[in-house]
Structure 1
Amino acid sequence: MRSLNDSTRGRVLFGGDYNPEQWPEEVWPEDVRLMREAGVNSVTLGVFSWARIEPRPGARDFGWLDRLMELMAGAGIGVVLATPTASPPPWLGARHPETLPRDEDGRTVWWGSRQQFCPSSPVYRRYAAALTEDLALRYAGHPALRMWHINNEYCTHCWCDGTAEHFRRWLRERHGSLDALNESWGTAFWSQRYDRWEEIIPPRRAQYMRNPGQVLDFRRFTSDALLECYAAERDIVLRHTPDTPVTSNFMPLWSGQDAWRWAEEEDVVSVDIYPDPKDPLGGQYNAMLGDMTRSQARGPWVLMEQAAGPVNWRGVNHPKPRGLNRLWSLQSVARGADAVCYFQWRQSRQGAEKFHSGMLTHAGEEGRTFQEIKRIGADLARLSPEVTGSQVKAEIAVLHDWDSWWADQQDGRPSSRLEYPGIVRAWHRALWESNLPVDFARPDHDLSGYRLVVVPHLYLLGDPAIANLTGYVRDGGTLVSGFLTGVADPDDRVRAGGMDGRLRDLFGIRTVHEWWPLDAGESVECDGFRASLWSEELELSTGESVAAYRSGELAGSPAVVRDGRAWYVSTLPEPEALRGLLARIAEGAGITPTLQGLPAGVEAVRRGALLFLLNHSPKAVTVPVPGAYHEVLDDRPVDGPVELDRYGVAVLREVTP
């Protein structure tokens, strides 16, 4: 496996997407001067340059890219070289309309933006492969090359006839026979039985609700079809540069890719994270995605994109207050990032993203944003020797699964208000606010290294996952699960009893009589707390009612259940109550917070030998710290409380007597 540490050469990568083709060539030396001033040591080139490299079919114009690669090498700035296949040039769609994707209504998605390709199109794949081949051949062994970046934010969906043929091939491989497919999809319902493979199409617009099994398989297929595109380009560049690591940037918590499966195909796992500066829990969102990406990488990861200031795609695009960019950047490092990068280096003056911030904004080098970028670059240079390659250790695993998410999104559920990412975020928030470090894991992963496993909500669970969870508790682990978990099997077939019998036995539940979803604005009173979104009518067998419903139709019924080391929470407690419950369960499992007695809004994270203190409050705070430390960023001794400015950060190394 080609490693990130070999690529970074012991440094935290700092930089971002560089799109010099948008600027006159005389600007390039000025860019390099300012990059060096800011401490930039890495740029991503070529992400959207297909039309520049191949202005017409088969033509090649590498001269400008040759000069840039030499310019970067001379300045000591490494290049993450992208295959520019995310945004085909207009000539491809005009000459080969079969490469253009079609939506669920069969309408063509035209060129004029980006990602206008059908991942199943042989013609698209052929042109993408030819360009990738020439790119890899030309720059193999170049001294500036540090890493390959395949495509960009894979997010294309297509329902065209070519996709239908590809889907049918995928289904043959998955199910083997039409009888098995009909059984898996439950086609006895609504007279949907298929007699010939040619009758099967993608789940296009239909008169009413579509077959859930078909929709679930199509989501699986789409993730796999995109992965085929990635793997084809990856294999080409590795033939020419077998020692250069390869990545493709994930979008944050996006449903279109099974990132667990994708991560297994990457040398380096990277992600784009854009918290909303107006979100009071933006830091928690940033932390959650860092934890998730680190877990997919099983170690250090790359923050491939973030915004230095405002983005351009929200209804109202707020800038980051002074200090927030630095706080979130160093928070990512605390949670395992060995690269802090941005979209993009120089803010565009034209095009759809001209109001999306850059490291160098329209205000220029005297602007506040660039001055803050320089400070971040200096911080990362100081941290690099002590943090690169080091690990974040967690004793808690939060389970997350794309199959369950895909099944959970479909129509015809008890409540359309169940929003999977929001539920995961609520449970992660409770642990984050208690300064309890977590990893994420798939439900069939090896969980033996964790004291506590947390399942916010997994509607769909296969037999191996259920055996894994029950075995984990049997072997001495502590498990806490949220509502509507273990309801369906991998075919989205509801299990007898409304929850798998093995899980009911685990939690001491005899029967789930009814699911009782709650309306917007509706809540229920429970022992010691209020809850919202969901409730369930449970009858217990061996389980103990830890908290009961005290209002509504379920008054007197158990809300939180415990059977030994297995806990079940049948509703969504208010944030303070969920935080208290999970902290209690963690303490019972022998887990202590990273640091106790912290002011509200202060996060403590240990990475390797370093303790990061991060103030998410717009007010200065004083943090009590036991023991003697050395502050790495300011290079000074610390023996007593640490003063943190608004959005301030301290990085401490313990001093042993």
Structure 2
Amino acid sequence: MARLDDLTRPPGRPPRLLYGGDYNPEQWPEETWAEDARLMRAAGVTSVTLGVFSWSRIEPTPGAREFGWLDRVMDLMHAHGVGVVLATPTSSPPPWLGRLHPETLPRDEDGRTEWWGSRQHFSHSSEAYRRHAAAITEDLAARYAHHPALTMWHINNEYCTYDWGDGAARTFRSWLKDRHGTLDALNTAWGTDFWGQRYGDWDEVLPPRRAHYLKNPAHVLDFRRYTSDLLLECYRAERDIVRRHTPHLPVTTNFMPFWSGQDGWAWAAEEDVVSVDVYPDPRDPAAGAYNAMIGDLTRSEAGGRPWMVMEQAAGAVNWRTVNHPKPYGLNRLWALQSVARGADAVHYFQWRQSRQGAETFHSAMLGHAGERGRVFRETVRIGEDLAVLGPHVAGSRVTTEIALLHDWNSWWADPGDGALSTRVDHAELVRAWHRALWDAHLPASFAHPHHDLSGHRLVLVPHLHLLDDPAIENLLAYVRGGGTLVCGFLTGIADRDGRVRPGGMDARLRELLGIDLLQEWWPLDEGEHADCGTFRGTLWSEELTPAPGAETVAAYRGGELDGRPAILRTGRAWYVSTLLEPAALSGLLASVAREAGVVPVLDALPEGVEAVRRGDLLFLLHHGGEPVTVPLPGRHRDLLTGTVTEGAVKLDRFGVAVLEEAP
């Protein structure tokens, strides 16, 4: 099976990092294309994504095929040494498809049609959509299978469509029959006797449309699973077509960063290259940690192999309330941060900034200011850096001894509006725990709760509301095998259907974590804190009765929970019943990691400096606005500058050093 390594480490040629972005030449007069090719070469661009939104240009009327313009662009890219990641254009069907086949248009939970005029306006369950998508994919693959510019396939774009329409209702029922078998089993799994909603006929089962009051969480959970699976069917159908024509080329589709709609583990298993779009907010002081988390998650989905940044912004985006540009140097910092965390390909949306359409003010590698503009100058500099790093970095791995467990099923199972606190946000809890490790300079990966965990000294469970029996047995076996486990609050309170387990938490987990009885959950209001002695807890607290022999590491002080354990441990298993404030959480995880034999990449780093090892190289990335000096043992050579230093390295604002040991 083809991998990204095949493109970045070609036989007989030096290893390289891919660099480029989405190229949409159909938006521009043809005389612009040669200028684009010239500037791409000047910027060190080696790869572009073509055709993402080109369906209506290739097939302007049903059955027509106009490939001439794309032929000329493919030839132009090849002539300038730029490889093409060719997209199937199926994320944005042409208006004629919706007009002639209104069943291809999705409906929202109120039954309203989502019309053409934007993008992602397709129903994943529509046979007409799938038929037309397959036809254009077939012809695209047949035409360009042997084109020398073609290096990779990109299927669709940011799969994110939901559909509550009648067609989706039919396929949802079919999916449920495959999962549950019988209506009795479905009624049991969903607990439909609550509120008297027991189903007596399959035709009564609908997507979870607008309801008078709260929806059934188990119904919603299965609908989220179904949607991810149906979209994955669409991806597989197109992937299999292009693979048949080009079995030697890798295939990908781009994930949105830490998005709840797709089961990333299931999808990544179907990709040759795992790719992601990532757009940190330049005004967010924690944006560097967020970018690091997306890199760690994507690398983990790729099984530790190199991965691809498919989209990021060279400057401002256009979809926040206020869209700030990136100060000079920040774009380069975040691009190289992704490389540090395992990326072998760095792409942007997009190459040339659009002058028309909904994303006119979304930045690009070549902005409205043109080649004299600051953004393009930085584009050139990043290209130079990646060209230098490629032979040293491409194909190498990032190794870690800490795993954070994450599962989309658990995310989907969070009860939402019917919960004790709508302030408990799965994504934010995962981000908080990863940020705590980032602050402690402890590299980490992500893992599914079914994965083999034995290669990690420390496993963290920030927030897995739902844990099925195999996952629980996996955690028990991990600790029995000598691993250290830290679980956050609400871990394992529900089974695979979202049903709360007897005792409020699985009995096996309670025994492992030293909990005799979970008396009550005590959510905390915004601004409310729980005094835990040396630190404060936020968001949540719990009334726990510890089991005999369990150690109360920290206790609540005052109020109803006075003296109750806030943090418990039994041997190598820890339970944290509140969200510690950032510095305290970082300190706790660093202490547990140290006890488990995991140490930071470097000690005593200046504030804002991130240290990551990839292969034999040490990346130092400075997220602050003022110069700093980083103490280092021994002599090192910075690959980016060729400078040899001894004892310390100076980093300017947003500075990066990529160091190898020097004699």
TM range (shorter): over 0.9
Q: Does 1:61 align with 2:70?
A: no
Q: Does 1:310 align with 2:316?
A: yes
Report Cα offsets for 1:56-88 as digits up to 9, x if no partner.
100000000000000011111000000000001
Mapped partners of 1:353, 1:288: distance in 2: 27
Mapped partners of 2:282, 2:364: distance in 1: 15
**What's 1:105 paired with?**
110
Aligned ranges 1:238-277 → 2 under 5 Å? 238-277=243-282
Deviation for aligned residue 1:551: 2.8
Mapped partners of 1:590, 1:124: distance in 2: 54
Point out where structure 2 has 5 or more consecutive residues left out of the alignment: none
Which amino acid letter does the alignment assign opposite residue 490 of structure 2?
A: L
Q: Is the 8 A contact 1:7 1:244 kept in 2?
A: no
Deviation for aligned residue 1:176: 1.0
Give 2:512's match in structure 1, choosing from 506, 523, 526: 506
Aligned ranges 1:575-590 → 2 under 5 Å? 575-590=582-597
Which amino acid letter does the alignment assign opposite residue 492 of structure 1?
A: G
Mapped partners of 2:207, 2:194: distance in 1: 18
Q: Does 1:3 align with 2:3?
A: yes
Q: Is the 8 A contact 2:217 2:415 kept in 1?
A: no
Deviation for aligned residue 1:602: 0.3
Local SS of the residue matching 2:48:
strand
Aligned ranges 1:190-589 → 2 under 5 Å? 190-298=195-303, 299-541=305-547, 542-589=549-596
Give 2:169's match in structure 1, choosing from 164, 168, 189: 164
Report Cα offsets for 1:39-67 as digits up to 9, x if no partner.
00000000000000000100000000000
Local SS of the residue matching 2:489:
coil
Give 1:118's match in structure 2, choosing from 109, 119, 123: 123
Q: Is the 8 A contact 1:22 1:348 kept in 2?
A: yes
Report Cα offsets for 1:329-357 as digits up to 9, x if no partner.
00000000001110000000000000000
Report Cα offsets for 1:627-651 as digits up to 9, x if no partner.
1111100112221210000000000
Q: Is the 8 A contact 2:106 2:113 kept in 1?
A: yes
Report Cα offsets for 1:582-607 as digits up to 9, x if no partner.
00000000001001110011000000
Mapped partners of 1:11, 1:142: distance in 2: 21
Which amino acid letter does the alignment assign opposite residue 473 of structure 1?
A: V
Report Cα offsets for 1:172-211 as digits up to 9, x if no partner.
1111111111111111111111111111110100111111
Mapped partners of 1:469, 1:644: distance in 2: 42
Q: Is the 8 A contact 1:431 1:582 kept in 2?
A: yes
Local SS of the residue matching 1:579:
helix
Mapped partners of 1:653, 1:311: distance in 2: 35
Local SS of the residue matching 2:531:
strand
Report Cα offsets for 1:5-47 as digits up to 9, x if no partner.
1123332110000001000000000000000000000000000
Give 2:629's match in structure 1, choosing from 622, 625, 631: 622
Mapped partners of 2:174, 2:416: distance in 1: 24
Q: Does 1:75 align with 2:80?
A: yes
Comparing 588-597 with 628-637, greater Cα deviation is found at 628-637
Mapped partners of 2:72, 2:555: distance in 1: 69
Report Cα offsets for 1:505-532 as digits up to 9, x if no partner.
0011101100000011111110200111
Deviation for aligned residue 1:544: 0.7
Local SS of the residue matching 1:307:
coil
Q: Does 1:634 align with 2:627?
A: no
Report Cα offsets for 1:408-429 as digits up to 9, x if no partner.
1532111111011110011000
Local SS of the residue matching 1:624:
strand
Local SS of the residue matching 1:613:
strand
Deviation for aligned residue 1:552: 2.4
Report Cα offsets for 1:265-292 as digits up to 9, x if no partner.
0000000000000000100000000000
**What's 1:14 paired with?**
19
Mapped partners of 1:121, 1:593: distance in 2: 51
Q: Identity, % of aligned pairs?
A: 70
Which amino acid letter does the alignment assign opposite residue 69 of structure 1?
A: M
Q: Does 1:650 align with 2:657?
A: yes
Local SS of the residue matching 1:626:
strand
Mapped partners of 1:194, 1:372: distance in 2: 60
Which amino acid letter does the alignment assign opposite residue 117 of structure 1?
A: F
Mapped partners of 2:24, 2:407: distance in 1: 35
Mapped partners of 1:433, 1:627: distance in 2: 24
Which amino acid letter does the alignment assign opposite residue 276 of structure 1?
A: D
Mapped partners of 1:88, 1:60: distance in 2: 14
Mapped partners of 2:415, 2:16: distance in 1: 41
What root-mean-square deviation, in Å, do the aligned CA atoms of Structure 1 and Structure 2 show?
0.7
Mapped partners of 2:84, 2:614: distance in 1: 27
Give 1:608's match in structure 2, choosing from 604, 615, 618: 615
Mapped partners of 2:39, 2:232: distance in 1: 37
Mapped partners of 2:417, 2:104: distance in 1: 30
So what's the TM-score if we normalise by structure 2?
0.98
Local SS of the residue matching 2:612:
strand
Deviation for aligned residue 1:157: 0.3
Which amino acid letter does the alignment assign opposite residue 163 of structure 1?
A: A
Mapped partners of 1:7, 1:345: distance in 2: 21
Mapped partners of 1:49, 1:398: distance in 2: 39
Local SS of the residue matching 1:600:
coil
Comparing 628-637 with 34-43, greater Cα deviation is found at 628-637
**What's 2:32 paired with?**
27
Mapped partners of 2:528, 2:128: distance in 1: 53
Mapped partners of 1:467, 1:86: distance in 2: 40
